[in-house]
Amino acid sequence: MKLEELCAAVQEARYYNERFTRREYTSAFRTYTERFGPLYMEAVRETAEDPDGRRVLAEQLLDLLEAGWKRQRPWNRTMVQAREKQMLVTYLSPMLLGLEEPLCQELAERLRDGWNTRRPKDIYNITTYARLQEGFRNVILGIDITGWQKRREEES
């Protein structure tokens, strides 16, 4: 397992964050899971024997992310950090919660806890893909048409 490959799941933020829309999220999440899911399941399985393995893996990932931020120009660091946090919230954590390997859920929790400990003023919570998908509103000119759409589907 290479930590750099695992970090790419967070650091390749621009491509995926642009697709965090009602229309594109499902496709982007599927592509993301196909690419990074096997890597994370393998990494978690390698830590299965060590009861503290997921915490150590989470700390190593967070250390690598921080090292990447330090290599950024000072005026760019905050933006990169925010973009990567969005990746943790909208892609990595939901993917880990949805994988069949039960230890992946623990890794998602350890990443969240590690981040929140290091950045108590910039915490995040984890949630499932389905919950995030439900959060997209279908609006036209600020009017939510989700209920109208559902009624129309029920009538046909």
Looking at 99-145, list the stretches that DSSP marks H as alpha helix, in order from N- to C-terminal side.
102-118, 129-134
Which helix or strand (DSSP H or E) is residue 139 part of? strand 139-140
- Report pLDDT for 12: 87
| Torsion angle of the four alpha carbons 125, 129, 130, 135, in this order, in degrees rounded to the nearest 10 | 60
Residue 126, CB-side half-sphere exposure with 13 Å CA sphere: 22
Encoding tokens for residue 156?
A: 């046909």
Number of domains observed in the structure of the chain? 1
- Report pLDDT for 147: 62
- Report pLDDT for 23: 83
- Report pLDDT for 142: 64
Looking at the chain, list the stretches that DSSP marks H as alpha helix, in order from N- to C-terminal side.
3-11, 13-17, 25-46, 53-70, 77-87, 93-98, 102-118, 129-134, 146-155
- Report pLDDT for 30: 94
Encoding tokens for residue 56?
A: 């150590």
pTM over 0.75: yes
pLDDT tens digits in sequence order for the chain, 156 residues long: 588 889 889 998 888 888 888 888 999 999 999 999 999 999 999 988 888 889 999 999 999 999 988 898 988 889 989 999 999 999 999 999 999 888 899 999 999 999 999 999 999 999 998 888 877 766 666 666 666 555 555 665
Q: CB neighbours of 85 closer than 8 A, spacing ≥ 6?
A: 115, 122, 124
- Report pLDDT for 3: 83
Instruction: Note down the domain range covering 122.
Output: 1-153
- Report pLDDT for 32: 94
Encoding tokens for residue 137?
A: 């509103």
- Report pLDDT for 102: 86
Helix (H/G/I), strand (E/B), else coil: 143: strand
